[in-house]
Chains A and B, each alone.
Chain A
Amino acid sequence: MRSTEDALFDDLHPTQASTWEEGRPDLDLATKASIAATVLGVLVVALCLIRPSFASVLGAPGLAGVALLLIGGTIGWNRGVYVPSGAGIRNDGVFFGASYRPSPATLALTLPFCGLYTVLWWSNYGTGMVFLGIPTAAAGLWAYGHAQTVRYAGSVALLLLAAWMWFGDYTPSSLDSVNPLKGGIALVDPLAMALRGSSADKWFFYTVAYTTGVSLMAVRMAFRYRHNRYHLARTASVVFWQASFGFVVPMLLSKMGQKEHYFSYFWPLKPEYLLPFNVVDNYWDGGTVARAMFLWGVMMSLVGVPVLTYLYGKRWYCSWVCGCGALAETVGDPWRQLSDKSERAWRVERWSIHGVLALIVGITVFLWTNEALGRPWMDHGRASGLFWDWYGFFIVAGFAGIVGTGFYPVLGSRIWCRFGCPQAAVLGILQRFFSRFRITTNGGQCISCGNCSTYCEMGIDVRAYAQRGDNIVRASCVGCGVCAAVCPRGVLKLENGAMGDRFEGADDPLGEMLRSLGIRPRTGDPGDR
């Protein structure tokens, strides 16, 4: 609902955007050259995707060249943008830029992400991805009030598809059988040979692209938050975990003839690490090392997660270790302010994220019951097939991939983490009721300005708590620390302390849970959410 003032400011937005644009400082030559280098690097990759034969010509030296262009370009670009203005919070013009509201420019960014995830799962689900996945996402967004966005997305997608078929080596009839990432895969092939001793495939290409995206955008974070050691440390941490246990370590394991295992993911984010069709056939019967991998996962799910979350809150995982978190905190950071802060969104969130958790818990219990009874209902092949066809298609490919990442520029950077991730749901329940973590509000210093809520990627209305002097104890908080950083009055601080003083409901966790679910009524305090 727009107020009179909202309408007046909305009308002024074009003036705001143009005056801001015209008032920006000029970039020096080195910065312009760096931008050109970055764009050139991206163009080479795009060219490889369109003409796979070009990638084969480039070979290893070409790949190294692309890497140098991207790394050097990104460093120079961010240096040129952030160093001259000095260290500090730099959110000037965030809401004036063209990419911060649904527009053709936003969608030029959205579609490559959606397209990548569609293409990645293409061979698994074929045209189903197009005829089921994308309309599902579109319908969801439409219902959510982004009809305009969907219309734009649709038309740009059609144009891109036409261009791709025109310029590429493909025809519509071969859509199901070709691999549209052929050129990208050929580009990273030399790296695959060196790391794991076998040719690249689409998942290798995806992991390289993912890790590159995280690392390059971490450079942006490093310049942007160079005055803030918390942000520097957590950014370095996600890059480390993504590059090592999310990429290099699994590849080396594979080279050594072991399973390509990802030690930084556990059930239920990676459900297959605890589902019998995979555990029994591939891990338990796969030798000592594979068995140790499985036990590591079980240990983390049952002991590691609760203990670390008790000590530090869910942030130890979500904004320090997790790969999805790594992408959100680096590549997704420019869109964090787009998350929906309304109470309605919070209601949707609670049903949605706990729904996915209930689903995966149900599947797990069902499959292990089936296993214990000697598989009376389905064998491993059928269980695996059904699981990947349904959970894999709708939740992993559709929710976490297409919507979760593809819609960063529409719904903010933590869509999957907030509305879908079952691991986040588990961590959140632990954080809410059994953790030392809280965001402390500094006495009466809050001026209700709203910077904290605006820049919360999880859509938490931080201000609602801070302006009452209450600490913030919320299941969804991933502890990124940006609310505390952008606060102009030094009001917020992420802390781990005694359970008793975290918030007023700490001594009545069950009552608090019932109230937060709407089962037991709130007290009627007009500050209550």
Chain B
Amino acid sequence: MHVVILGNGIAGITAARTLRKRDASVRITVVSGESDHHFSRPALMYVYMGHMRYRDTVPYEPGFWTKNRIELVRGWVVRIHADAHELEMDGGGRLAYDRLLIATGSVPNRFGWPGQDLDRVHGMYSVQDLLALERATPGIRTGVVVGGGLIGIELAEMLHSRGRHAILLVREDSYWRNVLPREESDMVNRAIRAHGIELRLSTELASIEDDGRGGAGAVQTATGDRIEAQFVGLTAGVRPNTTVVEASGIDIARGVRVDEQLRTSAPDVWAAGDCAHVHPSVGEPFLEQVWYTCRAQGEVAAENLLGGSRAYSRGIWFNSAKFLDIEYQVYGEIPNRPASGVKHLYWEHADGDKALRICTRDGRFIGLQTMGMRYRHRVCEAWIRDGISVDDAIAKLHLADFDPELYRRHAPAIRAGLKEVSA
């Protein structure tokens, strides 16, 4: 059997590895137009900041692919011929498959802003985006980054690290407020400003001005301000990359439509990762576009490609990020706005750069979120799964502490200082 995987991101590569682990004889081919090898997408920022070279973001040595008999094909696919079980490549070549996994990832959102297709207007998603940013850098004095989310703050940090004036435009009245509760969001606002990055809240992009040579020269905000900028970063979220699928007659919803086993409408075709819009038999359809869920979907898809019937379920939610110097971790449910039946307990260190939030429902521990501190995944997950009481969790808080050795332990101060807040 020949399995072709379209895309070498974390979903596609996890699927390839899982396939080989489960089956020694299946022929595996991974097709990518973006890069020769799988690399860590979240690590691209470190290449720009000089923490690493591009080659350091590549998790497997070239020999890994030959050793595990995973064939790599470099090229863009333009169409899937589902009936013929064939991929049509850019340039006319054909690649036959017995089973196909679509793992094409996502593309940055562009909301039809005037000027969004000018030179030096980019998302921060692909290797090509990073290369374009590198080539533009000598001409950048000021860069405007549109979008108050994870990629936005990273792109602002990147520009700042190279001595460029970075301005972050955030539509909401506070950073990442559609995910973070008020206090944590405020903490990040302060950190952004303390680093010398300009933060403009409640500010929307209206248009991007041409500098007269087809490149970005300035942006206009919805309130009529004009900001000169030689680079505009569009980081207002991503959407599933369905370009190839659209031309192929496979069902699309917000992404490639799949059932809970990640099967698409076409025979022998599955989809996983950012591009998949999952429609479970019970419950609401969902998109899950973070590293961990893509990894989990890649695993499920691989098992089902080999004849399994495992339903994808992401398990207890977790995520992490780093806002400049502040690390962030979340386990379980932490609503960003008041939610019925959910109580919030919050503690913040006097330094203003460490915090812990616990959410409870009916006295049960349902979620924990930290800023500037590390907590243990397995412990927090077990507490949530077992539904332990919030008092129990608070009493055992030190068991979940994952900060380095010799660090000051905050559990006693947290126990004494946790206060009920709204959200």
Q: Which residues of B contact A454 (CB under 8 A)?
A: 51-52, 56
A89 to chain B, nearest CB (A): 7
Q: Mark A434-474, 1 if CB is under 8 A from B, else 0.
A: 00000010111101111101100000000110010000000
Q: Decide: A230 and B57 in contact? CB cutoff 8 A.
A: no
Interface status of A177 (Cβ within 8 A of chain B):
no
Q: Decide: B52 and A92 in contact? CB cutoff 8 A.
A: no
A5 to chain B, nearest CB (A): 5
Q: Mark A489-529, 1 if CB is under 8 A from B, else 0.
A: 11001110000000000000000000000000000111100
User: Are A464 and B59 also in contact (CB < 8 A) when A442-B377, A484-B404 are?
Assistant: yes
A178-227 at interface with B (beta carbon < 8 Å) = none
Closest-by-CB residue of A relative to B130 is: A9
A485 CA to B62 CA, complexed, in Å = 28
Q: Decide: B35 and A86 in contact? CB cutoff 8 A.
A: no
A89 CA to B43 CA, complexed, in Å = 15
Q: Decide: B376 and A442 in contact? CB cutoff 8 A.
A: yes
A-B contact pairs, 26 of them (CB 8 A): A3-B55, A4-B74, A6-B55, A8-B131, A9-B134, A19-B163, A24-B163, A91-B49, A92-B161, A93-B50, A229-B406, A343-B61, A440-B402, A443-B377, A448-B40, A449-B40, A450-B46, A451-B46, A451-B52, A463-B59, A481-B404, A485-B404, A488-B321, A489-B320, A494-B404, A526-B17
Q: Decide: B138 and A495 in contact? CB cutoff 8 A.
A: no
Residues of B within 8 A of A (CB): 10, 17, 20-21, 24, 35-37, 39-40, 42-43, 46-47, 49-59, 61-64, 68, 70, 74, 127, 131, 134-135, 137-138, 161-164, 194-195, 291-292, 295, 318, 320-322, 324-325, 327, 329, 374-378, 381, 402-408
A440 CA to B404 CA, complexed, in Å = 11
Q: Decide: B374 and A527 in contact? CB cutoff 8 A.
A: no
Interface status of A145 (Cβ within 8 A of chain B):
no
B249 to chain A, nearest CB (A): 32
Interface status of A233 (Cβ within 8 A of chain B):
yes
Q: Decide: B163 and A95 in contact? CB cutoff 8 A.
A: no
Interface status of A130 (Cβ within 8 A of chain B):
no
B323 to chain A, nearest CB (A): 10
Q: Decide: B54 and A6 in contact? CB cutoff 8 A.
A: yes
From A8, A12, A444, A484, contact of B318 by CB (8 A): A444
Q: Decide: B47 and A9 in contact? CB cutoff 8 A.
A: yes
User: Are A20 and B50 also in contact (CB < 8 A) when A86-B325, A445-B377 are?
Assistant: yes
A464 CA to B51 CA, complexed, in Å = 19
Closest-by-CB residue of A relative to B137 is: A19
A229 CA to B35 CA, complexed, in Å = 40
User: Are A443 and B318 also in contact (CB < 8 A) when A20-B162, A343-B63, A448-B43 are?
Assistant: yes
B36 to chain A, nearest CB (A): 4
Q: Which residues of B contact A464 (CB under 8 A)?
A: 59
Q: Which residues of B contact A228 (CB under 8 A)?
A: 404, 407
A162 to chain B, nearest CB (A): 36
Residues of A within 8 A of B (CB): 1-6, 8-9, 12, 15-16, 18-20, 22-25, 86-89, 91-96, 228-230, 233, 342-343, 440, 442-445, 447-451, 453-454, 463-464, 467, 481, 484-486, 488-490, 493-495, 524-527
Q: Decide: B327 and A92 in contact? CB cutoff 8 A.
A: no
Q: Which residues of A contact B374 (CB under 8 A)?
A: 442, 490, 493
A86 CA to B61 CA, complexed, in Å = 36
From B134, B135, B404, contact of A493 by CB (8 A): B404
Q: Which residues of B contact A526 (CB under 8 A)?
A: 17, 20-21, 64, 68, 70
Q: Which residues of B contact A6 (CB under 8 A)?
A: 53-55
Q: Decide: B376 and A443 in contact? CB cutoff 8 A.
A: yes
A490 CA to B325 CA, complexed, in Å = 12
A35 CA to B62 CA, complexed, in Å = 44
Q: Which residues of B contact A449 (CB under 8 A)?
A: 40, 42-43, 46, 52, 57
B43 to chain A, nearest CB (A): 4
Closest-by-CB residue of A relative to B322 is: A488
Q: Which residues of B contact A490 (CB under 8 A)?
A: 320, 327, 329, 374-375, 402
Q: Which residues of B contact A524 (CB under 8 A)?
A: 21, 24
Q: Which residues of B contact A9 (CB under 8 A)?
A: 47, 53-55, 131, 134
B271 to chain A, nearest CB (A): 22
Q: Which residues of A contact B408 (CB under 8 A)?
A: 229
Q: Decide: B405 and A445 in contact? CB cutoff 8 A.
A: no
B325 to chain A, nearest CB (A): 3
Closest-by-CB residue of B relative to A25 is: B163
Task: Please name the 9 residue pairs, one residue from A and one from B, whose CB atoms are nearest each other, closest first.
Answer: A23-B163, A443-B377, A88-B325, A490-B374, A449-B43, A3-B36, A93-B50, A488-B322, A91-B51
A440 CA to B39 CA, complexed, in Å = 23
Q: Decide: A450 and B59 in contact? CB cutoff 8 A.
A: yes
